[in-house]
Structure 1
Amino acid sequence: MTSSPAEPTEPVGLRERKKAKTRAAIQRHALRLFDEQGYSATTVDQIAAAAEISPSTFFRYFPTKEATVLYDPFDPLLVEAAVAQPPELSPIGALRATMNFIREQLPAGEWERERRRQRLVFREPELRSAVMDKFAEGIDVLAGLAARRTGRAADDFEVRNWAGAVVGVVLAAFLGAAADPEADTLVIVDRAVAHLEAGMPL
C-alpha cells in the first residue's frame, strides 16, 4: 500500500503573518463601524460582513466584540523595543526611548488608527472598565522589564512599586488624551513619564 504525498504546509512565520494581517483587518473594519454608527449599535455580524469573513471566522480571531478594541497590536513591539534599549539607560530612560522609537517607526496611518482605538476605549463605559485589567497586566510587564535592566527580582517590592507608578501616570495621560481629539497621546505619555522621572514636583 502506498501512502499519498503529504499536503504542503505553510511555514510557521508566513502563517502567523497571515493571521496578524487578518486580525488587523478585522480590527480596522470594527473601528470604522464604531466611529460611523457607535460601539453599542455595531454587531459582530456587521463587523464580519465588512471584513468579508463569516462570524465563525471572526470568533477565531476575537472572542468578543469588545476584544476588537482592547487588542493592542503594538504591545509586542513595545516590549521588544524596550528590551533592546542600551543597558546604560535607567528603566525609565529606556521606557522614554522606547516611546520615541515607536513614534518614529510607526506609519502615520497606523498611529492615527491607534489613537482612535485609545479614544474609544476610554470614552465607552463598557470598555473603560475592561481596559483596567490590561493596565493591571502592564504592572507585571513593566516589573519584568525593570527586573531585567536592574538585575533585581520582578516581585521585588520597589520594582513593582516603580511599575505601578508608571502605570498610574500613563493611565492618567491616556484619560487626559481621550478628552482631546487633537491630542498626541505619545507626547502626553512622555510628559507624564518625564514628570515621574523628575520626582513628580508640584
Structure 2
Amino acid sequence: MAATSRTPAAASLDSVAESLQPQLSLRERKKIKTRTTIRRATYRLIAEQGYEATTVEQIAEAAEVSPSTVFRYFPTKEDIVLTDEFDPIMLRELRSRPAGEPPLESLRAIITEAVRLSLLHDRDETLQRTRLIAEVPALRARMMESVAATSRLLCEVLAERTGRDGVDLEVRVFAMAVLGALHETTVYWAERNHEDDLLDLIARTMNTLSDGLPLGTQPT
C-alpha cells in the first residue's frame, strides 16, 4: 500500500481508505463519507452508553441521517461495528503483489500494513472495535458471517494467482485459515486488554500458519 506515504498522519482510517482508491467516483466517495459518519456516531454512542443500549434510531439522529439510511448502508447494528472500507483494497493489493510470491507471504505483507494503518490512524476505534467483538456475543456471531463473506472474495483472487478454481477445497481452506486466524488474533489481543503489540501478534500468527505448531515451545 505504497500510496499511504501521501496520506497525512492525522488522517482518519476511512480517509486513508478513500485515498488508496483514487479511481472512486464522486458517488462512491460520498457513500464512504456517509458510512464513516454513521460508524463514528455509533462508536461515540457506544462509548457513552454501551452497545446494547445504543439503538439504530439514536445512531441515525447522531449521524443526522434517517434510520432507513442507516439500514441501507448497514443491514444490522452489528454491521456498523464490523465493516470497514478495506476489503476491496486488500483484494486489489493482493492482485498487485509480485507474480510467483507465495500467497501467505503476499497476505502477510498486506495484512501487516493494514494493521499498521489501523493503529496509526484510528487506534482508539480499533481498540473499541476489538473489545466489542471479544465481549458482545452478537458481534462475535456476526463477525464469523463477515469472515465467511470476505473469504469468498479472497478465494476468487487466490484462484487467479494460483491457477486453481476458487471453489477448490484447498483454496477455501487456505482463505478461511488466514482470516479465521486473524480474527482469533484480535480477540486474543482484546482479551489481554490490548497489552501486547498487535503487529507482533500478527507476525506470530503468520509464522504459525507457515510453520505449524511446534511442540513444547513458548514464544519469546
TM-score band, normalised by the shorter chain? Answer: 0.7 to 0.9
Name which one, 1 or 2, has greater alpha-carbon Rg: 1
What is the root-mean-square deviation in Å for CA atoms of aligned residues? Answer: 2.2
The equivalent residue for 1:8 is: none
Residue 195 (structure 1) aligned to one of 192, 208, 219: 208
In structure 1, C-alpha distance between the alignment counterparts of 2:137 and 2:157, rounded to whole Å? 31
The structure whose RCO (Cα within 8 Å, separation 6+) is larger is 2
* Equivalent residue pairs, number: 191
Unaligned ranges ≥5, structure 1: 1-11
Q: Is the 8 A contact 2:119 2:126 kept in 1?
A: no
Residue type at the aligned position of 2:208: H
Residue type at the aligned position of 1:67: D
Residue type at the aligned position of 2:44: R
Q: Is the 8 A contact 1:44 1:55 kept in 2?
A: yes
The equivalent residue for 1:28 is: 40
Q: Measure how far apart 1:172 and its partner are.
A: 2.2
Q: TM-score, normalised by structure 1?
A: 0.82
Deviations 1:128-155 (A, max 9, x none): 1111111222332332232222111112
Residue type at the aligned position of 2:78: E
Indicate the percent of aligned positions where both proteins have the same amino acid: 42
1:96 aligns with 2:116: no
In structure 2, C-alpha distance between the alignment counterparts of 1:70 and 1:58, rounded to whole Å? 14
The equivalent residue for 2:180 is: 168
Q: Measure how far apart 1:189 and its partner are.
A: 2.8
Q: TM-score, normalised by structure 2?
A: 0.76
Q: Is the 8 A contact 2:104 2:210 kept in 1?
A: yes
Q: Is the 8 A contact 1:26 1:68 kept in 2?
A: yes
Q: Is the 8 A contact 1:99 1:190 kept in 2?
A: no
Q: Is the 8 A contact 1:177 1:185 kept in 2?
A: yes
Unaligned ranges ≥5, structure 2: 1-23, 216-220
The equivalent residue for 1:15 is: 27
Residue type at the aligned position of 1:73: E
